Amino acid sequence: MSTANGLGLDRRSLLKGLGAVLGAQAASQLLGGQNVAVAMAFAQDSAPRQLQLLSERQFKTLAGIADLTIPRTDSPGALDTHSHWFVDNQLKHCFDSEEQAVATVILNKIDTVAQSQWGKAFYQGEQAGQLALLTALEAADGPFSQADTKAFKMLKALVVFGFFTSKVGMTQLLAYDPVPGGFKGSLPYASVGKAYSGGYPF
Amino acid sequence: MQETIVQSTDDEFDVLIVGSGVTGGWAAKEFCEAGFKTLLIERGRLVEHRKDYPTEGKGPWEYPTRTVAENLLVDQTQAIQKQCYAFNDTSKHFFGNDRDLPYSTEPGTSFSWIRANQLGGKSLLWARQTFRLSDYDLSANAKDGLGIDWPIRYQDLAPWYDYVEKFAGISAAQNNLPQLPDSIAQPAFELTKPELDFQASLAEHFPDKPMVVGRCAHLTEPSKIQLELGRVTCQARSECYRGCSFGAYFSTQSATLPAAARTGNLHIAPNSVVHSLIYDDAKQRVTGVRVVDNDNLSQREYRGKIVFLCASTLGSTQVLLNSTSKRFPNGLANSSGVLGRYLMDHNYNAWASARIPGYEDEYYRGRRPTGIYIPNSHFEPSRYHKAFKRGYAIAGGATRGSWQGMSKQDGFGSDFKQRLTQAGPWQIWMGAQGEMLPRADNQVSLHPNKKDKWGIPQLHFNCQWSDNELNMMQHAAETMHKMLETAGFESIRSQATTAPPGLAIHEIGTARMGNDPKQSVLNKYNQAHDVPNLFVTDGASFCSSGVVNPTLTFMALTARAAHYAIDQVKSGRL
């Protein structure tokens, strides 16, 4: 029974063995130990910084939503990771025209309600007012319908998606484990302390 | 690489192998190791292990769309392919281009044909779950009369399962179940705590539905032969569909190709779309293949003493149907008239899910390449349900939720952000894998006038579920619901759906084996009844679908047929 590089060996030994197979550089890229994220020299988040679908005004509304949803705390937030840029790009390239319309219509409605309640644009409002407005939207209260809530949740989920698939989201906010080294069926949650970045493809 | 790349040649090869996926790779390995001068003919491009896995190791943030494939691209070129669970921006280059691969379907029917036309074929994209057929499966047709009898039994296949498992590397537990023969295996993947407790609940309340850990073609304790080929232990990355530089899962690239190449006998003809086989009426043998160049559409021929068709179930049948001659006006080796008929897939049209309360302190590490598996409990006629014949297996798994499932929850700000960084509740998902009966009406034929860009007549599909399959899925959904309920799980959902065949990507049949040449295309060694130097060893040869994932059986049938052919040649009979 050969266990020459079964799970019994530590990562360094595996790296050494694999180096002979793959070449040292490729092996260190695949199995870079503790600093695997750094060793793999990942590029930074790639998303264009030019509006693809939304108008300037809609984009400012979206940015306000993103900031309220995932603010900067002791860690970066949605705006730091350009998640609002991601949402605009994603809507353009991965959604059909009906879905795009759902997104722009709800952004416009949020702005219209803000205008009628405060006499100014959503993005110009105070954060407390913005939060109250979006909370009413999630509850389908006041001027907002169930359909509005559903449309908003689609946008909100996209903000979340953009944030948690950003490099910061995946490698800092979540437990990033690109090369787990095998599967272990049970370990204490506290030993990880947060969710993994996820399964395939994230 | 030590193989020789071939384009035009006048050489006569000892064997021509059409297709380089799981079965083509196995045939190449066996013939090369036996000293045969072998030509492996692949319609697509070369894909070199490691070098041509361009998306491996990339983080989602390196993709502007975070690995979601773009609308425009998908709508124009891969609208069919994108239906495959493995399709996204990181794997799309291993899937076919629908524009180049047209086919038609009978009005009122639908079939999703997933294509992977490159060196390695679908061995780069398969889901790698590996189970043996049992004697119950191989005798089912004989016992209940639905379909012709398989010409082989478990004892014929068992040594070849042993043989391919030792080389491929299968992770599995020893379960000693009559309907699911054990494999020669490396250590099984672990179950999670909730899965272990669910296993105990099933053992108590559903004694005929024991749960085992899934078996898969991943290395957990590589053997000497695997290490020599540069294959190492599975790292549980779940990047399999991008190609694996660890060689941790079985693919042509990781396993059979390097084994074949190191003999010095392997020749590969890439970008060679096989149009048809050349049949010599006088010799009553195939003498070669006609090829259209994938890129420039020029034509060429390759000559060989034996032909192994390993072009995928429907690819092989399409080649045979398009190989006409005076003796075989309706397709080569088709004196029976059954070529193209008895198309089957597996039926995945039932699922159930639930939330598992508790286990908040439990977690796991890694992304396991298999799950839980509940073998077919209706594996012989006395165990059939009154509403349907044959049965189904269940596959699934339990994991903790993540931000992906919580992204539409109410809330804003730091609390919301913090909540989404934590693992969510445990959840379980299960899906049925049902048997499809072999029926003559489920058929592929050549379209009378539509051709593809290589001038090859398109396939026309007429394939549908019958009431048997629909009733089975209703029962499967109800059964899974009960299992989850009995285990004390919450928020249980279950559903039987009616998605058309194709998407299990287990297409089988259409050139079936059999003892009677009037009712079958191939004999018990996957050799054409009508043409002794022609073999078809992929899924086209199946007489029934069984319920287990078919790829391990493809491997065993191919290795067995290759050794039969080698013995016949060596003894001067072929």
Residues from chain B that touch A42, judged by Cβ atoms under 8 A, are 58-59, 61-62
Q: Please report where in the chains the tokens 């009995």 appear, as a residue.
A: B486
Residue A33 and residue A60 share a domain: no
Biggest CA pair distance of chain A: 77
A98 in a structural domain: yes
CA nearest to B405 within chain A: A157
Cβ of residue A189 closer than 8 Å to a chain B Cβ: yes
Q: Are the C-beta atoms of residues B265 and B32 closer than 8 Å to each other?
A: yes
pLDDT band at A200 (very low <50, low <70, confident <90, very high): low
Give the minimum alpha-carbon distance from A178 to chain B in angstroms, rounded to a whole number: 6
CB contact under 8 A, A162 and B66: yes
So what's the pLDDT on residue B1?
A: 54
Q: What is the pLDDT of residues B17-42, one digit of tens each?
A: 999 999 999 999 999 999 999 999 99
So what's the pLDDT on residue B426?
A: 97
E strands, B426-540, where? 426-434, 443-451, 457-462, 490-496, 534-536
Residue A126 and residue A94 share a domain: yes
Is residue A40 over pLDDT 60? Answer: no
Mean pLDDT for A44-56 is 79
C-beta neighbour count of B332 within 10 angstroms: 27
Label residues B198-232 b or e (16+ Cβ within 10 Å = b): bbebbeeebeebbbbbbbbbbbbbbbeebbebbbb
Q: Please report where in the chains the tokens 């294959």 appear, as a residue.
A: B231
So what's the pLDDT on residue B223?
A: 98
Residue A81 and residue A36 share a domain: no
3-state secondary structure of B125: coil
Residues from chain A that touch B92, judged by Cβ atoms under 8 A, are none
Boundaries of domain holding A132: 56-171
Q: Specify the range with the lowest mean pLDDT, choosing from A9-23, B44-58, B190-204.
A: A9-23
Q: Which residue in the set B233, B365, B416 is minimally distant from A69, CB to CB?
A: B416
Phi, psi of B82 (to 5 degrees): -65, -15
3-state secondary structure of B349: coil
The span from the CA of B5 to the CA of B270, in Å, is 8
Residue A81 and residue A2 share a domain: no
Percentage of residues in chain B with pLDDT exceeding 90? Answer: 98
Q: What is the pLDDT of residues A110-143, one digit of tens each?
A: 999 999 999 999 999 999 999 999 999 999 999 9
So what's the pLDDT on residue B450?
A: 98
Percentage of residues in chain A with pLDDT exceeding 90? Answer: 73
Cβ of residue B7 closer than 8 Å to a chain A Cβ: no
In the structure encoding, which two tokens stand for residue A7, read together?
């799970």
pLDDT band at A96 (very low <50, low <70, confident <90, very high): very high
Cα–Cα–Cα angle for B426, B432, B433, rounded to 5 degrees: 135
pLDDT band at B74 (very low <50, low <70, confident <90, very high): confident
CB contact under 8 A, B190 and A6: no
**Helices B22-33 & B551-570, crossing angle to 10 degrees?**
30
The span from the CA of B174 to the CA of B510, in Å, is 34
Cβ of residue A164 closer than 8 Å to a chain B Cβ: yes
Residues from chain B that touch A198, judged by Cβ atoms under 8 A, are 402-404
Cβ of residue B236 closer than 8 Å to a chain A Cβ: yes
Task: Report pTM.
Answer: 0.93
Q: Which residue in the set B60, B233, B421 is minimally distant from A194, CB to CB?
A: B421
Is residue A27 over pLDDT 50? Answer: no
Cβ of residue B429 closer than 8 Å to a chain A Cβ: no
Residue A153 and residue A96 share a domain: yes
Q: Please report where in the chains the tokens 């049948």 appear, as a residue.
A: B317
A63 in a structural domain: yes
The span from the CA of A1 to the CA of B166, in Å, is 12
Q: What is the pLDDT of residues A153-168, one digit of tens each?
A: 999 999 999 999 999 9
Tell me the CATH number of domain B175-215+348-434+466-499, given options 3.50.50, 3.30.410, 3.40.1350, 1.10.3470.
3.30.410
**A116 vs A56, A65, B211, B572, CA distance in Å?**
20, 18, 60, 93
The span from the CA of B17 to the CA of B537, in Å, is 10
Residue A104 and residue A148 share a domain: yes
So what's the pLDDT on residue A47?
A: 56
E strands, chain A, where? 184-188
Residue A163 and residue A107 share a domain: yes
Which carries the bigger pLDDT value, residue B537 or residue A42? Answer: B537
Residue A75 and residue A106 share a domain: yes
Provide the domain count of chain A: 2
Residue A98 and residue A2 share a domain: no
Is residue A198 over pLDDT 80? Answer: no
Q: Would you tell me which residues 455-494 of chain B have a C-beta closer than 8 angstroms to some C-beta of chain A?
A: none
* CA of residue B16 relative to chain centroid, distance: 22
pLDDT band at B139 (very low <50, low <70, confident <90, very high): very high
> Whose CA is closest to B182, among B224, B230, B130?
B130
Residue A127 and residue A82 share a domain: yes
Residue A126 and residue A68 share a domain: yes
Q: Please report where in the chains the tokens 């021929």 appear, as a residue.
A: B301
Q: What is the pLDDT of residues B252-301, one digit of tens each?
A: 999 999 999 999 999 999 999 999 999 999 999 999 999 999 999 999 99
So what's the pLDDT on residue A21?
A: 43
Q: What is the pLDDT of residues B421-467, one digit of tens each?
A: 999 999 999 999 999 999 999 999 999 999 999 999 999 999 999 99
Q: Would you tell me which residues 80-99 of chain B have a C-beta closer than 8 angstroms to some C-beta of chain A?
A: 88, 90
A152 in a structural domain: yes
* DSSP type of residue A43: P
Give the minimum alpha-carbon distance from B74 to chain A in angstroms, rounded to a whole number: 9
Q: Which helix (H) or strand (E) holds B199?
A: helix B193-205
3-state secondary structure of A108: helix
The span from the CA of A25 to the CA of B457, in Å, is 48
Is residue A150 over pLDDT 80? Answer: yes
Residue A156 and residue A88 share a domain: yes
pLDDT band at A49 (very low <50, low <70, confident <90, very high): confident
Q: Would you tell me which residues 361-380 of chain B have a C-beta closer than 8 angstroms to some C-beta of chain A?
A: 361-369
Residues from chain A that touch B66, judged by Cβ atoms under 8 A, are 86, 90, 161-162, 165, 202
The span from the CA of B251 to the CA of A67, in Å, is 46
Pairing state between β B4-5 and B266-269: parallel
